[in-house]
Every structure is written in C-alpha cells, then in structure tokens.
Amino acid sequence: MDYLKIFAPATVANVSCGFDSLGFAVDAIGDEMTFTKTTEKGVKITNITGADLTYNVDENAASAVVKKVLNDANAEFGIELTIHKGFSPGSGLGSSAASAAGAAFGANQLLGNIYSDLELTKFAMFGEEVACGTPIADNVSAAVYGGFVLVRSYHPLEIIKLPVPSELRVVAIHPQVEVKTKDAREVLPTQIALKNAVTQWANVGGLISGLYSNNYELISNSLVDIIVEPHRKKLIPHFDDVKNAAIKAGALGAGISGSGPTIFALCKGDEVAEKVYKNIEESYKNTGIEFTMFISKVNHEGMKIIKSL
C-alpha cells in the first residue's frame, strides 16, 4: 500500500460519570486524513484544511505521532500527510485525539499493520501530550477501538471495549465559546469526599452494566456526574438549560463532552433523538451565542479506510 485515505471519528470522553476512563466514538463527524508513502524518509504535512493548525512536524499532534510510529518501526520510507479537520479544535469532541489516533492508524497501515490497537492507542496518547500536555487515553482509545471504551488502567495501559446497545443515539451541541482542556482541568478539586466517590463509582458500574444488558433505564440512572460537572459547568454558558431541555424531551441523560464546551445527550432511538435535538436548539437559539449541533449513532468500528492504493 502506497496511499491511504481515512476517517478518524470525533469522540465523547468521560460520558458523565467516567472522568478520564470512559469514552465513545461518534459516526457523524471526524477528520479525513491522507497518507502517501515517500522514498525520502521523514514526515511532512502538505495540507491542512478546516482548522488553523501548525505545520511544524514536532508540534502538530498528527505528524508528531506519524514520526514516532515510523521511527519506532525503523521504517525505510517517509510519509506525506494531509489533514482535513471535520470539527473544531477546542470543542470537547476529541479533535487532537482524532488526528493523533488517525495518524497512528494511517502510519501503521502503510507499515503493513504491525501494531495492535493497544499500541496504536499508546502512540496516539503521545499526540495528546503534544497537543495539550497530558497523555489522556479516553478520547484516543475510543477513536482507535470505536464504540464505547473503558480505560481500566493507565499503568499498564488496559483498554476494555464495551458493547453498544443498538438504539443508542447521541445529540450534541457545540456552543462557540472556548474552553481549554488545561483550564477545565485546573478547576477540578484535587480531593473528593468518600461518599461522593462511592456515588460516582457506583454510577460507572451501573453505566457499564447497562451497556452490557441493553438496559436503557439503568444507563439513564447512571449518567450522573457529581464530581466533575459541578465545577466545569460554570465554564459553559447555559449548561443547565441545555441539560434540562434534553431530559425534558426524553434524553437518557446529558453531560459535558470531554472537557467541554460541547454538551452531549444520550437517547434511545431516532425519534427521541430528533425531539431532544429540537428542544436543545430551542433552548439555545436566543442566547446570542452561536452553536452547531449534530445527531449521531455511536461509531462501532473506530477508524475507517475510505480509499487505499
């Protein structure tokens, strides 16, 4: 293979109760990236569209990951890379994660598929570190594995792929305000009360059990975050109004996507998802803040190959 075009999905991390340990991939939006083998060694970004990102190979999450993958494998070739961002950096939908995971996947394909998904996740975490200073695994593992994932352990890294009930839909609203992941992490407490920890880990268990048993009521009851959301929601204008609008229209639950500002709602079925979409839209349209929205299925397969030559 000398050429590859791929789709790298956007992802929703945390999923309310699972800060830094749960995530899922969405179908509706993501990045498109191309990888062209070159006889000359090294990595070069030849085009970036859809966002204003650096072409500096060591500072761009995607090219930094491609470089690391090729070096690690002692590759005898180089790669020219193009990146089309299908959604904005800083949205809370795993923008740098999509690019980093896509980069690891694409480079691995040109190498003849020598790395496992776990290894690709580790490479992609390096990209997250380049982009935002912390090698968080929830977004990148969801992008690599697809579906729902649990980061069961960071040291050593262990990723569990979870089942996805077939009628699960996600509705998301991205208010056009900037929330930097770094800032959204700085507002978090360094210590939490034991009784709050008990509530939170019981909800993580409930959510995972609900995914395994197709129990939408259990999923709904478990989509609660009493640790992170109370601090972060202050950074997202009208968060409570959106959440209430989503629940009122029948959503299973709603919360902050990753570090925000995107707010996601999980729903059972297309009909409810449409109603939730309309109610959220209605709740936001007079705020004076611009926004974009989407409805999506959960993406099951992670990376998708669009074309290969």
Smallest separation (angstroms) from ligand HSE to the CB of 243: 17
Q: Is residue 20 near ligand HSE by the rule CB under 6 A? A: yes
Type of residue at 98: A
Q: Is residue 14 near ligand HSE by the rule CB under 6 A? A: yes
Q: How far is CA 208 from the centre of its chain?
A: 18
Smallest separation (angstroms) from ligand HSE to the CB of 58: 20
Spatial distance between the Cα atoms of 225 and 227, rounded to a whole number of angstroms: 6
Spatial distance between the Cα atoms of 2 and 65, rounded to a whole number of angstroms: 19
Active site residues: 128, 181
Query: Dihedral, CA atoms, 124, 55, 112, 159, nearest 10 degrees?
Result: 10
Q: Which stretch binds ligand HSE (CB under 6 A): 12-20, 205-213, 216-224, 284-292?
A: 12-20
Q: Is residue 229 near ligand HSE by the rule CB under 6 A? A: no
Kindly provide the residue ranges of all beta strands, DSSP E only, lying in 135-288, ordered along the sequence: 148-154, 157-162, 168-175, 253-256, 263-268
Q: Is residue 259 near ligand HSE by the rule CB under 6 A? A: yes
Please identify, using beta-carbon distances, which residue of 172 and 273 lies nearer to ligand HSE: 172
Q: Is residue 138 near ligand HSE by the rule CB under 6 A? A: yes
Spatial distance between the Cα atoms of 120 and 66, rounded to a whole number of angstroms: 11
The 3-state DSSP composition of the chain as helix, strand, coil percent (nearest 5) reads: 40, 30, 35
Q: Which stretch binds ligand HSE (CB under 6 A): 1-9, 11-19, 151-159, 238-246?
A: 11-19
Smallest separation (angstroms) from ligand HSE to the CB of 164: 19
**Token pair 């999506």: residue:** 296
How many residues are there in the chain?
309
Please identify, using beta-carbon distances, which residue of 264 and 277 lies nearer to ligand HSE: 264
Which listed residue (34, 99, 139, 279) binds ligand HSE by CB under 6 A? Answer: 139
Smallest separation (angstroms) from ligand HSE to the CB of 222: 18
Please identify, using beta-carbon distances, which residue of 63 and 95 lies nearer to ligand HSE: 95
Which listed residue (206, 258, 261, 302) binds ligand HSE by CB under 6 A? Answer: 258
Please identify, using beta-carbon distances, which residue of 60 and 262 lies nearer to ligand HSE: 262
Q: Report how many residues bind ligand HSE under the rule CB under 6 A.
A: 12
Q: Is residue 99 near ligand HSE by the rule CB under 6 A? A: no
DSSP string covering 247-280, please?
A: HHTT-SEEEE-TTSS-EEEEEESHHHHHHHHHHH
Strand, coil or helix: 27: strand
Q: Is residue 95 near ligand HSE by the rule CB under 6 A? A: no
Q: Is residue 185 near ligand HSE by the rule CB under 6 A? A: yes
CA-to-CA separations, 1 to 4, 37, 66, 123, 309, in angstroms, rounded = 8, 8, 16, 21, 6
Smallest separation (angstroms) from ligand HSE to the CB of 194: 22
Q: Is residue 136 near ligand HSE by the rule CB under 6 A? A: yes
Q: Is residue 262 near ligand HSE by the rule CB under 6 A? A: no
Residues that bind ligand HSE (CB under 6 A): 13-14, 19-20, 136, 138-139, 181, 184-185, 258-259
